[in-house]
Amino acid sequence: MAKAIVKLQDMQTHIWPKIVQKGLIREGDPLEDADHFITALERQGVLAKADAQRLKIERVNYFHPLLVDAVKRFQGRHGLKQDGVIGKSTRRWLNKSANTRIQILALNMERLRLWPTERESIILVNIPNYEMQLWIDSELILDSKVVVGRPSRRTPLFDSRLDSVVFNPAWNVPVKIMRKDILPKLRNDSEYLEKNSYTVLSDWTDAQEIPSEQIDWQNINPNNFPYRLQQSPGDMNALGRFKFNTPNGNAIYLHDTPAKSLFAKERRAFSSGCIRVQKAETLAEILISRSGFNYGDYDYYRRIPETKWVSLRKRYAVYTIYQTAWVNESGEVEYRDDVYHYDARPKRNTAVSLTASNSQS
């Protein structure tokens, strides 16, 4: 990262042309200023100097296939959809100056001091990259896309230990989500709770079920609702089929989800704070097998309809981190969007600026 900063500093005196052409630019489309466009991709290190010179000599004035391939490489290094189409996000990253990139790299070098460097038995979730990695004995065993908290309900930066896997979990709905997300839907659909397998409970201590017909819904609103909600295990459950327990002060954990389509999104900040794992089933199988259980045990726990807590004999450190820039194994700098706008506050103490909300799901 230090070498990347030095390289950018050396390039600050060079021209960094901006892409001002508006609208979507697709393969074959005319380019308003092709030379500037070619130079921009060359400066970003995604278009070879020889190719750039040839395109200029030939006076190419359209979105040439060589340029499309360069844009795809650029998009890959910035966590963007690699479709070779220049839209708002790709244009914004192309137009970031060398000085801005230097600042991003410098800030992320400081952040590296906060995260663990060992990779013995650890789960890392990089929030801006929407990715989870499982490392065992310094080997990357599994990586998976994740969905993290939306900006209004951020996934906090924390560390914990994963101590158990819950098969077919019930979901005890946090009060904030109950009031803001679920109860308001009853105004338009009186059968919403039944359709989505919610049970009304007296509280979390004695957990007496309250029949829905006994509740005076006419005089209850989200702010004075005196009960608690629990969603039964099953295909409709917001936690999916697996929950990975990580005790921490924010009640944040990793879990499966029935909303699989969200993993296809480029930007995956949609949850209320907890971390949805695309490869949750694979993660559960690995953790169970590495903890001394056989596949028969795992298959049985997965098939039974009841909730089953399985304590792991081996605990795994879990860290949620916030890296918006790093150097990959190929020596290329990768950048990600600052989803929680932490990069915009570099003057504050780094640890303080990374403090997130106490969202609970």
Please list the active-site residues: 255, 274
First to last CA, the chain: 34
Separation of alpha carbons 320 and 355, rounded Å = 12
With 0-12 / 13-18 / 19 or more C-beta atoms within 10 angstroms meaning exposed / middle / buried, residue 176 is middle
* Relative orientation angle of helices 295-303 and 280-290, to the nearest 10 degrees: 140
CA dihedral 309, 358, 270, 222 (to 10 degrees): 90
Sign of the C-alpha dihedral, residues 16, 17, 23, 27?
A: negative
Amino acid of residue 312: L
Q: b/e string for 231-249 if b means 16 or more Cβ within 10 A? A: bebeeebbbbbbbbbbeee
Are 258 and 237 a contacting pair, CB within 8 Å? yes
Separation of alpha carbons 254 and 299, rounded Å = 20
The SS3 of residue 34 is helix
Sign of the C-alpha dihedral, residues 98, 103, 104, 105?
A: positive
Are 66 and 47 a contacting pair, CB within 8 Å? yes
Phi, psi of 132 (to 5 degrees): -115, 140
Separation of alpha carbons 14 and 55, rounded Å = 20
The SS3 of residue 304 is coil
Are 190 and 213 a contacting pair, CB within 8 Å? no
